[in-house]
Structure 1
Amino acid sequence: MDVKTYTMTDGQYFKVINKSTGAVITYGELTESNQLVTIHKVEFISEEKYESERPRIEPNSGMQKVSGEAL
C-alpha cells in the first residue's frame, strides 16, 4: 500500500479519486495547518473547479454531514 502525504505546497484545492474504481471520494481544501494522507489518487484543482464541482449541503435540507471515512 503506497501512502502519500500532501500539504498546501502541493496545492490548495483537491479531489480524492478512488484508485480502484475511479469514483470521486471527496473534495477538500488544504491550509497551512493541515495535511492530506491517502492511498488514493489526488488531483489538485482550481478554486473555480472546486466551487463548481463539490457537493453542497443545503441549510435545513435534512441532510447531515458525514465524517470519519478513511481516505
Structure 2
Amino acid sequence: MNTKVSQMTVDELREVIGAVIEEKLVALFGGNEDELELTEELQEILSRQNREIADGERGEAFEDVTARLGLN
C-alpha cells in the first residue's frame, strides 16, 4: 500500500493501526491464543521501559496529561 496517511479515511487508518498492533502482539506473545506467554523479548522491552520511566526518560505524569488535555 503506497497511500499517504493524509489520503486515508479515519476507518482505513484505524484498520492499518489495528493490523500493525496485532502483528506486534503476535510477535511478542506468540500465535497460540491458548498458551499466551511473555516472550524473552517482551520481558526485556517491559523491563527497559520500566527503567526509563523510573529514570524520567520516558512517560508523562497522569496529572500533566489530564491538565494538557483539559480533563482536570
Q: TM-score, normalised by structure 1?
A: 0.26
Q: Which has the higher strand share?
A: 1
* Greater relative contact order (CA < 8 Å, ≥ 6 in sequence): 1
Q: Which has the higher helix share?
A: 2
